[in-house]
């Protein structure tokens, strides 16, 4: 991604270059005309002023307004002090490096802002409103619910709605991170932020712009960094005390040793001690610290959203990184949440395909979930005249004449229901004889088992499943995905209680649910993760982390991103504090001079910022 300098940054860059050039001339003339040192010094002062006039102005304003201890003040005092000690080259160098650091920081933040903004390019700018007199381009905010808008290929859908005309393929990658486009046609609902790929469609809007998915998601992402993480809060508090403390120490360093030496009748060595104190001031600039931590979290949150994981705050990233237990809802989270034919039993020698075919034809107009899934399991569609005299027997099943034979699909009266079979079993009777049985059950998500194993290898010690389902079918799912503990037959209210018990054992606990009916549990957990929540308002409200598509594999990825982000933030804190402490000690002992101090200050910041940028690229 190419980054364009802003006007302010360009101006600063030019100033730095000019003042560096003047600085070189100044140093040169100091060597060339050693008998006229004021020529070189004058040129160095010019270089100093070019680089630092705004710092001096801000420092002066700060003093006038009674606010000292900001970085401008520190830099101004340090550099003016150096000049008073006739160390002109140091003074100019401090200013030039300080400004280089400022420029670097500004560019790095701008870059990181831009790459996160790229993710939020889902904000649609216009909508094509279809009216009586043709199509007009309007601001999406002005489109009321129930209006018809046209979306052409290549455009982004501006508002949530339902397709009323046309067929197309939609690319939801910006929302879900899922690269495979989905087909949509008349009657399908569409969410804003998707890109219309192939065909022109007309959409009747069902939500206003401010309530539409794209807008809500954007708000969520943009808000997320304002919930501060603990390291972030720590560093902000720390900076408040750190700068005054260092300034105080600097003052003490400048006064106490010389005075003490005077009292004991020695040489005061003012020059030496003041120079050491000034070094202190240069090191004390807190900007590297204050910036590097939020920048790491910003990168981490940005990286997560790139992968279809929305994190509502830096603090949740932190909790996610430490997660000791993971609790899952069953239906819709570990399982598909949809019935599929899992077993076909032939009782009298009729082929399994035929059993399915007769049953599917009989169920050809059924809306019952089991009927729908039997129909989906059959590759053939009945031709006209194949199925006649369909009648539903409420609470029992369906009866119909299929290919001339009388077929009943429904609850078997005498079939011994084996307790170990999950799901629903129906009998297929053909001409009054039970030919076979079909079992439909909710299938376990393919990614669930891998995801749980991945979580465990990441150090999430305990995994649990909570469900309202029967013990036996829950047990089968629990064994299939490999959770450590399982509680079945829970009412929604019981789930919160069970979760609280688990939270006492291992904390923090993340709870992953499909979002629609799990809102109280999602809200109670340390980190509530809503799965497949695209378009579900309740989930976006209640959860702390939203996984936009159903893919369980994104959960371990989220934990990995969280871990790495927290590690980067900690590295930054430890690293910058350690370097600063070392410089302070060396400075106080007179080993490190102002040159070392300024290199350390700017260098630490550059390294910390570069380190933070890694958070954006976690895979």
Query: Using CB under 8 A, which of 39, 45, 80, 106 touches another protein?
Result: 106
Report if residue 171 touches another protein, rule: CB under 8 A: no
Task: Give the pairing type, strands 485-487 and 462-466.
Answer: parallel
What the block records as the tokens of 432 is 């009054």
CA distances from 360 to 347, 399, 436 (A): 18, 11, 13
Per-residue H/E/C for 360-407: HHHCCCCCCHHHHHHHHHCCCCCCCCCEEEEEEECCCEEEEEECCEEE
Identify the DSSP state of 181.
-
**Alpha carbon distance 547, 27 (integer Å):** 59
Minimum separation from the CB atom of position 236 to another protein (A): 6
Query: Using CB under 8 A, which of 139, 142, 186, 222 touches another protein?
Result: 222
What the block records as the tokens of 254 is 């400048």
Query: Using CB under 8 A, which of 159, 291, 440, 503 touches another protein?
Result: 291
Interface mask (CB under 8 A) for another protein, residues 234-273, using x and -? --x--x----------------------------------
Interface mask (CB under 8 A) for another protein, residues 132-161, using x and -? ------------------------------
Distance in angstroms between the alpha carbons of the first and the last residue of the chain: 18
Minimum separation from the CB atom of position 64 to another protein (A): 10
**Alpha carbon distance 221, 219 (integer Å):** 6
Report if residue 453 touches another protein, rule: CB under 8 A: no
Report if residue 113 touches another protein, rule: CB under 8 A: yes
Closest to another protein by CB, 102 vs 160, is: 102
Q: How far is CA 470 from the centre of its chain?
A: 36
Interface mask (CB under 8 A) for another protein, residues 35-54, using x and -? -------------------x
| 110 contact partners, CB below 8 Å, separation of at least 6 | 3, 6, 9
Report if residue 294 touches another protein, rule: CB under 8 A: yes
Minimum separation from the CB atom of position 60 to another protein (A): 10
**Alpha carbon distance 314, 226 (integer Å):** 8
Report if residue 71 touches another protein, rule: CB under 8 A: yes
Binding residues among 4-33 for another protein as defined by CB under 8 A: 8
Minimum separation from the CB atom of position 534 to another protein (A): 23
Query: Using CB under 8 A, which of 50, 175, 290, 529 touches another protein?
Result: 290
Report if residue 611 touches another protein, rule: CB under 8 A: no
Minimum separation from the CB atom of position 193 to another protein (A): 19
- Partner residues linked to 410 by β-bridges: 397, 427
- Asked if 224 and 563 touch (Cβ cutoff 8 Å), the reply is no
With CB under 8 A, what is the number of residues at the site for another protein? 28
The residue whose two tokens read 């077929």 is 407
Whether 601 is catalytic:
no
Report if residue 575 touches another protein, rule: CB under 8 A: no
Minimum separation from the CB atom of position 13 to another protein (A): 14
Closest to another protein by CB, 113 vs 271, is: 113
CA distances from 335 to 404, 494, 495 (A): 38, 21, 18
Minimum separation from the CB atom of position 530 to another protein (A): 23
- Partner residues linked to 343 by β-bridges: 439
**Alpha carbon distance 213, 219 (integer Å):** 10
Minimum separation from the CB atom of position 133 to another protein (A): 37
The half-sphere exposure of 597 on its side-chain side, counting CA atoms within 13 A, is: 32
Q: Which stretch binds another protein (CB under 8 A): 109-117, 155-163, 338-346, 359-367?
A: 109-117
| Nearest to 518, CA basis, from 506, 529, 507, 502 | 529
The residue whose two tokens read 């949809």 is 338
Minimum separation from the CB atom of position 225 to another protein (A): 5
Report if residue 601 touches another protein, rule: CB under 8 A: no
Active-site hit among 329, 469, 551, 601: 329
Closest to another protein by CB, 71 vs 469, is: 71
Binding residues among 51-70 for another protein as defined by CB under 8 A: 54, 58, 61, 65, 67, 70
> What phi and psi, each to the nearest 5 degrees, are found at residue 235?
-70, -35
Q: Which stretch binds another protein (CB under 8 A): 217-225, 364-372, 534-542, 560-568?
A: 217-225
What the block records as the tokens of 159 is 């508002």
- Asked if 359 and 376 touch (Cβ cutoff 8 Å), the reply is no
Binding residues among 313-372 for another protein as defined by CB under 8 A: none
Report if residue 298 touches another protein, rule: CB under 8 A: yes
The half-sphere exposure of 304 on its side-chain side, counting CA atoms within 13 A, is: 36
Query: Using CB under 8 A, which of 176, 205, 225, 279 touches another protein?
Result: 225
**Alpha carbon distance 485, 120 (integer Å):** 39
| Nearest to 44, CA basis, from 78, 89, 6, 13 | 89
Report if residue 517 touches another protein, rule: CB under 8 A: no
Closest to another protein by CB, 223 vs 380, is: 223
CA distances from 441 to 392, 397, 409, 416, 421 (A): 22, 17, 16, 17, 9
Minimum separation from the CB atom of position 566 to another protein (A): 17
Query: Using CB under 8 A, which of 13, 18, 109, 403 touches another protein?
Result: 109
- Asked if 546 and 522 touch (Cβ cutoff 8 Å), the reply is no
Residue 231 CB coordination number (10 Å): 21
In the complex, the residues that contact another protein under the rule CB under 8 A are 8, 54, 58, 61, 65, 67, 70-71, 102, 105-106, 109, 112-113, 116, 222-223, 225-226, 236, 239, 286-287, 290-291, 294-295, 298
Please give the positions annotated as active site: 329
């Amino acid at each position: 991604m190419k980054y364009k300098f802003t006007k302010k940054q360009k101006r600063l860059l030019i100033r730095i270059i000019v003042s560096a050039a003047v600085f070189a001339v100044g140093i040169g003339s100091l060597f060339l005309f050693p008998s006229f040192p004021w020529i070189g010094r004058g040129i160095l002062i010019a270089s100093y002023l070019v680089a630092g006039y705004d710092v001096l102005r801000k420092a002066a304003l700060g003093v006038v307004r009674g606010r000292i201890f900001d970085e401008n003040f520190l830099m101004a005092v340090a550099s003016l002090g150096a000049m008073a000690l006739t160390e002109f080259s140091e003074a100019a160098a401090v200013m030039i490096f300080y400004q280089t650091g400022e420029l670097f920081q500004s560019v790095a933040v701008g870059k990181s802002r831009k790459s996160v903004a790229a993710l939020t390019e889902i904000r649609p700018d216009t909508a094509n409103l279809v009216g009586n007199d043709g199509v007009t381009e309007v601001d999406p905010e002005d489109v009321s619910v129930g209006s018809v808008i046209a979306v052409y290929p290549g455009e982004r859908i501006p508002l949530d709605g339902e397709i009323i005309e046309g067929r197309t393929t939609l690319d939801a990658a910006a929302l879900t991170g899922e690269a495979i486009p989905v087909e949509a046609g008349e009657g399908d609902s569409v969410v804003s932020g998707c890109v219309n790929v192939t065909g022109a469609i007309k959409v009747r809007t069902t939500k206003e712009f401010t309530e539409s998915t794209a807008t809500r998601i954007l708000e969520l992402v943009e808000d997320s960094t304002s919930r501060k993480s603990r390291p972030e809060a720590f560093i902000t508090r720390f900076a408040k005390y750190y700068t005054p403390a260092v300034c105080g120490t600097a003052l003490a360093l400048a006064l106490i040793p010389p005075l003490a030496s005077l009292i004991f009748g020695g040489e005061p060595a003012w020059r030496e001690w003041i120079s050491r104190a000034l070094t202190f001031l240069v090191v004390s600039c807190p900007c590297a610290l204050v910036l590097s931590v939020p920048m790491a979290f910003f990168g981490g949150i940005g990286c997560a959203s790139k992968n279809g994981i929305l994190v509502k705050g830096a603090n949740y990233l932190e909790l996610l990184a430490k997660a000791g237990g993971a609790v899952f809802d069953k239906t819709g989270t570990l399982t598909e949440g949809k019935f599929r034919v899992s077993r076909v039993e032939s009782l009298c020698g009729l082929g399994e395909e035929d059993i399915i075919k007769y049953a599917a034809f009989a169920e050809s107009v059924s809306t019952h979930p089991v009927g729908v899934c039997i129909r989906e399991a059959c590759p053939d569609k009945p031709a006209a005249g194949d199925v006649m005299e369909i009648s539903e027997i409420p609470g029992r099943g369906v009866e119909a004449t299929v290919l001339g034979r009388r077929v009943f699909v429904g609850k078997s009266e005498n079939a011994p229901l084996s307790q170990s079979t999950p799901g629903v079993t129906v009998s297929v009777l053909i001409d009054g004889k039970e030919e076979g049985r079909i079992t439909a059950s909710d299938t376990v998500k393919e990614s669930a088992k891998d995801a749980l194993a991945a979580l465990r290898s990441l150090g999430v010690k305990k995994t649990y499943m909570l469900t309202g389902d029967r013990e036996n079918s829950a047990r089968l799912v629990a064994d299939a995905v490999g959770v450590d503990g399982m509680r079945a037959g829970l009412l929604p209210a019981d789930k919160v209680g069970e979760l609280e018990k688990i939270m006492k054992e291992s904390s923090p606990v993340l709870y992953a649910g499909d979002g629609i009916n799990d809102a109280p549990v999602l809200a109670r957990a340390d980190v509530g993760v809503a799965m497949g929540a695209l378009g579900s308002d309740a989930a976006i409200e209640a959860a702390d982390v939203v996984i936009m598509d159903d893919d369980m594999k994104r959960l371990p990825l989220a934990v990995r991103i969280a871990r790495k982000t927290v590690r980067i933030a900690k590295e930054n804190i430890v690293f910058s504090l350690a370097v600063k402490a070392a410089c302070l000690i060396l400075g106080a002992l007179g080993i490190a001079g102002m040159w070392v101090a300024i290199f350390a200050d700017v260098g630490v910041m550059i390294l910390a910022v570069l380190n933070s940028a890694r958070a954006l690229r976690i895979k």
